[in-house]
């Protein structure tokens, strides 16, 4: 039996009478990378927040490293243990860091919370984490406002790695960055995954990123899984009309925005009454 880093069954979340996430299942093997793709409003962030425990699912199961965490965590020790195993990097590096806390203190905070270390050990580990993301002493002493967007996102990554998580959830983590900076951060993330064996859930609205960051992909449409499977296969031969639409929407030679907008409306009309059924020949989604 494989022990997955992350195993999710039939997650569902409603807000009032709005179903944000419905029947989402996925698996992620240790050191694997799964992209969750979909347009704005498709339920990506809600899914991500349930995975890290920021949102309680209405129903469904979440197992991290084989341990069920569907129920509420009882007690501080359980909460901390859960938090150690799965960490999240948010989209906006300008909002996710406390403006009053230096980079050094920001990275030390989770170390203090999760590990019994002497202050010398903590400083050494902090420097190691900062070096891991390409930051040095100069940045360590700085407040976030002195850093660029890319540097801030590096700090957020270092902080998330501090607890040595099995899984890192990246919710549009490069979406706010310039394209060239985005490429650097993606490259760094790939290197970190190779070196540490951490697994990624890479949440993005941008299907163009998927082939660079993920082994597997899960396409969300209106809170449901439209299609999932190895990224290579899904990108080469998408089975669901929504995936095809997302692919055609990427700027390319002969790109026709008016045609794409019309297709988008047609798909919305066709699926208004009932959510999309999963494609008939469902590919196995094991990562």
Residue with tokens 């790695």: 161
Alpha carbons within 13 A on the beta-carbon side of 4: 19
Exactly one of 32, 38, 165, 238 binds ligand ADP (CB under 6 A); that residue is 38
Q: Give min distance, CB of 72 to Mg ion, in A.
A: 24
Exactly one of 44, 84, 154, 240 binds ligand ADP (CB under 6 A); that residue is 44
DSSP labels, 236-286: HS--SHHHHHHHHHS--TT--HHHHHHHHHHHHHHTSSSPPPPPSSPPP--
Q: Which residues, listed in sequence order, are joined to residue 11 by a DSSP beta bridge?
A: 24
CA dihedral for 261, 267, 271, 277, sign (positive or negative): negative
46 binding Mg ion? (CB under 5 A): no
**Contact indicator for 111, 123 with CB cutoff of 8 Å:** no
**Contact indicator for 27, 36 with CB cutoff of 8 Å:** no
The arrangement of strands across the sheet holding 33-37 comes to 86-89, 167-171, 199-204, 33-37, 216-221, 224-230
Q: Give min distance, CB of 139 to ligand ADP, in A.
A: 30
Q: Give min distance, CB of 57 to ligand ADP, in A.
A: 13
- Give the per-residue contact string, 12-31, with ligand ADP (x = CB under 6 A; - = no): ---x--x-x-----------
Q: Give min distance, CB of 109 to ligand ADP, in A.
A: 26
60 binding ligand ADP? (CB under 6 A): no
Q: Give min distance, CB of 12 to ligand ADP, in A.
A: 12
Exactly one of 27, 33, 45, 96 binds Mg ion (CB under 5 A); that residue is 45
42 binding ligand ADP? (CB under 6 A): yes
Q: Residue with the closest Cβ to Mg ion?
A: 45
Give whichever of 49 and 126 is closer to Mg ion, judged by the CB atom.
Answer: 49
Interacting residues toward ligand ADP by CB under 6 A: 15, 18, 20, 38, 40-46
């Amino acid at each position: 039996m494989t022990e997955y880093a992350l195993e999710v069954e039939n997650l569902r979340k409603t807000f009032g009478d709005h179903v944000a996430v419905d029947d989402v299942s996925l698996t992620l093997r240790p050191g694997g990378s799964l992209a969750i793709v979909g347009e704005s409003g498709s339920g990506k962030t809600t899914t991500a927040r349930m995975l890290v425990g920021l949102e309680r699912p209405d129903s469904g199961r979440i197992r991290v490293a084989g341990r069920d965490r569907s129920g509420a965590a009882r007690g501080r020790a359980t909460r901390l243990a859960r938090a150690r195993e799965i960490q999240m990097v948010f989209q906006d590096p300008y909002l996710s860091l406390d403006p009053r806390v230096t980079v050094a203190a920001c990275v030390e905070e989770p170390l203090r919370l999760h590990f019994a270390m002497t202050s010398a050990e903590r400083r050494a580990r902090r420097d190691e984490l900062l070096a891991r993301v390409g930051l040095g002493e100069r940045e360590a002493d700085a407040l976030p406002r002195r850093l660029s967007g890319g540097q801030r996102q590096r700090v957020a990554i270092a902080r998330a790695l501090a607890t040595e998580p099995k899984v890192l959830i990246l919710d549009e983590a490069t979406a706010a960055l310039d394209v060239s900076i985005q490429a650097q951060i993606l490259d760094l993330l790939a290197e970190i995954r190779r070196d540490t064996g951490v697994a990624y859930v890479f949440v993005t609205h941008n299907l163009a990123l998927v082939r660079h960051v993920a082994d597997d992909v899960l396409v969300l449409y209106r809170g449901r899984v439209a299609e999932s499977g190895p990224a290579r296969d899904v990108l080469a031969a998408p089975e669901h009309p929504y995936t095809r639409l997302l692919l055609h929407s990427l700027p390319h030679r002969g790109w026709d925005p008016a045609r794409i907008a019309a297709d988008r409306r047609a798909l919305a009309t066709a699926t208004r009454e009932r959510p999309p059924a999963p494609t008939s020949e469902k590919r196995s989604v094991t990562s």
